[in-house]
């Protein structure tokens, strides 16, 4: 496995791989890797001849500067995990390498990027589109892999490659959970023992709510989820929306979509956790 910090050097290696007709896969990450990321890397290795993993804490997608400063940075540990997961190239650029000058591009993907995370974290998806488009231009992957925990992010990236005509196949991979249901996230390490013990309530409540569909209305299911989680004093639901899983448009009735997905953000203490659930009607 090669660890590369420089764009020109990485492009040189990948040009050689392409000359040998090798299929290239990319897993973009911000490091602090866990088994959720590793599942993406393994899938990438299975589908492609060459697996590239980027590790870059992208400053332009943080609307909260404290979040950027406190974001865990564990490159040595990440590289050890990546090596054993079969990664071929780790691309770990500096901020200067990725943004030699400020990226002033402003994207607009309509509803897909303006609701939920888009509304609560202004500028977040613009920053994601900036960095992921740069990574796609640098690596020119055949396939790219993203976790479905960030359900809306996957929709934004699909919209971005369509808008920019970037020839890459976006692969969405299932959420990986702890045994008690908590979705794996780099932020979980910030939970206190008490918060960690409470956090599985999110996944448990989402799962329970699937039993009420379609008998209960969309509004009733939303209220059930929000009230059940908020009943715990450690938890505060920021939003819970049930949306069309392709457009991110909120639905009012189960008949509004064939693909209803519930997307939630919860503060567990001061740790912001996100999760989602697919409903079968």
CA 82 from chain centre, in angstroms, equals: 18
Q: Mention every residue, 6+ apart, whose C-beta is less than 8 A from residue 238.
A: 120, 265, 266, 267, 272
Nearer Cβ to ligand PAF, position 153 or 228? Answer: 153
Q: Mention every residue, 6+ apart, whose C-beta is less than 8 A from residue 12.
A: none
- Considering only residues 191 to 220 of the shown chain, the ones binding ligand PAF according to CB under 6 A are none
Q: Which of 180, 178, 191, 149 is nearest to 277 (CA)?
A: 149
CA 223 from chain centre, in angstroms, equals: 26
* Phi, psi (rounded to 5 degrees) for 68: -65, -45
- When asked if residue 275 is in the footprint of ligand PAF (CB under 6 A), the reply is no
Query: Measured at the alpha carbon of residue 189, what is the angle toward residues 188 and 193, in degrees to the nearest 5?
Result: 90
Q: Which of 155, 126, 101, 100 is nearest to 276 (CA)?
A: 155
Beta bridge partners of 183: 177
- When asked if residue 39 is in the footprint of ligand PAF (CB under 6 A), the reply is no
- When asked if residue 150 is in the footprint of ligand PAF (CB under 6 A), the reply is yes
Among 39, 58, 130, 195, which residue interacts with ligand PAF (rule: CB under 6 A)? Answer: 58
Q: Give the per-residue contact string, 92-111, with ligand PAF (x = CB under 6 A; - = no).
A: --------------------
- When asked if residue 28 is in the footprint of ligand PAF (CB under 6 A), the reply is yes
- When asked if residue 132 is in the footprint of ligand PAF (CB under 6 A), the reply is yes
Q: What ranges in 65-170 are assigned the alpha helix state H? A: 65-70, 75-85, 95-98, 111-114, 117-120, 124-139, 151-164
Task: Please state, in angstroms and as integers, the Cα–Cα distance from residue 104 to each residue in 99, 126, 145, following that order.
Answer: 10, 10, 26
Write down the least CB distance from residue 234 to ligand PAF, Å. Answer: 25
Nearer Cβ to ligand PAF, position 91 or 254? Answer: 91
- When asked if residue 87 is in the footprint of ligand PAF (CB under 6 A), the reply is no
Among 128, 154, 170, 183, which residue interacts with ligand PAF (rule: CB under 6 A)? Answer: 128
Residues annotated as catalytic (active site), given as ranges: 37
- When asked if residue 126 is in the footprint of ligand PAF (CB under 6 A), the reply is no
- When asked if residue 131 is in the footprint of ligand PAF (CB under 6 A), the reply is yes
- When asked if residue 242 is in the footprint of ligand PAF (CB under 6 A), the reply is no
- When asked if residue 30 is in the footprint of ligand PAF (CB under 6 A), the reply is yes
Write down the least CB distance from residue 30 to ligand PAF, Å. Answer: 4
- When asked if residue 148 is in the footprint of ligand PAF (CB under 6 A), the reply is no
Q: How far apart, in whole angstroms, are the C-alpha atoms of residue 52 and residue 118? A: 28
> Which residues sit at the interface with ligand PAF, rule CB under 6 A?
28-30, 58, 61, 128, 131-132, 150, 153
């Amino acid at each position: 496995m090669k660890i590369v910090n420089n764009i020109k050097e990485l492009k040189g290696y990948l040009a050689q791989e392409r000359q040998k007709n090798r299929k290239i896969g990319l897993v973009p990450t911000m490091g602090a890797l866990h088994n959720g990321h590793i599942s993406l890397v393994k899938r990438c290795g299975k589908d492609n001849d060459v697996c590239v993993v980027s590790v870059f804490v992208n400053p332009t997608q943080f609307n909260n500067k404290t979040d950027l400063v406190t974001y865990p940075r564990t490159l040595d540990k990440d590289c050890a995990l990546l090596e054993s997961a079969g990664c071929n190239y780790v691309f770990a650029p500096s901020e200067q390498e990725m943004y030699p000058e400020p990226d002033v591009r402003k994207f607009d993907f309509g509803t897909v990027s303006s609701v939920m995370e888009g509304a609560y974290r202004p500028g977040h998806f613009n920053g994601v589109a900036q960095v992921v488009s740069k990574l796609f231009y640098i690596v020119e992957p055949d396939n790219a892999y993203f976790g479905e925990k960030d359900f809306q992010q996957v929709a934004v990236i699909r919209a971005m490659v369509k808008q920019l005509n970037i020839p890459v196949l976006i692969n969405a991979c299932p959420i990986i959970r702890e045994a008690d249901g908590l979705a794996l996230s780099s932020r979980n390490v910030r939970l206190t023992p008490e918060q960690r013990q409470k956090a599985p309530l999110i996944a448990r409540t989402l799962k329970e709510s699937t039993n009420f569909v379609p008998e209960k209305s969309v509004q009733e299911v939303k209220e059930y989820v929000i009230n059940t989680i908020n009943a715990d004093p450690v938890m505060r639901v920021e939003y819970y929306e049930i949306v069309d899983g392709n457009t991110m448009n909120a639905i009012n009735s189960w008949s509004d979509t064939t693909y209803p997905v519930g997307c939630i953000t919860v503060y567990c203490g001061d740790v912001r956790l996100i999760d989602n659930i697919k409903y079968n009607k």
